[in-house]
Amino acid sequence: MATIELTKDNFNETLTENNFVLIDFWASWCGPCKQFAPVYEKASEEHTDLVFAKVDTEDQQELAASFDIQSIPTLMVVRDRTVIYAQPGALPEEALQDLIKQARDLDMDEVQKEIAKQQAEGDSAAEQ
């Protein structure tokens, strides 16, 4: 599956309809982004069950700002509408494949429980 272009118009729909989305925040003038593009494209062809998306930070400044993207490329992995990874920097192919494997192996029920626990702890700390 080829990568899809995400915009503020299709972003929420894409994340709602797909439980595993990788997002590459990039710009055409960015050298590291150009180096990472073929690695990302190759991974998208190998993992056809996942959604690989790209956000052009120049065209979609509002979307990039909403995720506080400070540096590009930034790779984000979203599972079940939860960001489980977000790091700037172009990954080599082996690191991207390892990240995808780790993201696949993650127990999302445990992740959701931990998020709920942290939110509850934050709420009780705020009340004191």
Residue numbers annotated as active site: 30, 33
The radius of gyration computed from the CA coordinates of the chain, to the nearest angstrom, equals 16
How crowded is residue 17: how many other Cβ atoms within 10 Å of its Cβ? 10
Q: Amino acid identity of 10? A: N
How crowded is residue 57: how many other Cβ atoms within 10 Å of its Cβ? 21
CA pair distance 125, 104, nearest whole angstrom: 33
Examine residue 32 and say whether the peptide bond preceding it is cis (omega within 30 degrees of 0).
no
Find out whether 38 and 91 touch, Cβ atoms under 8 Å: no
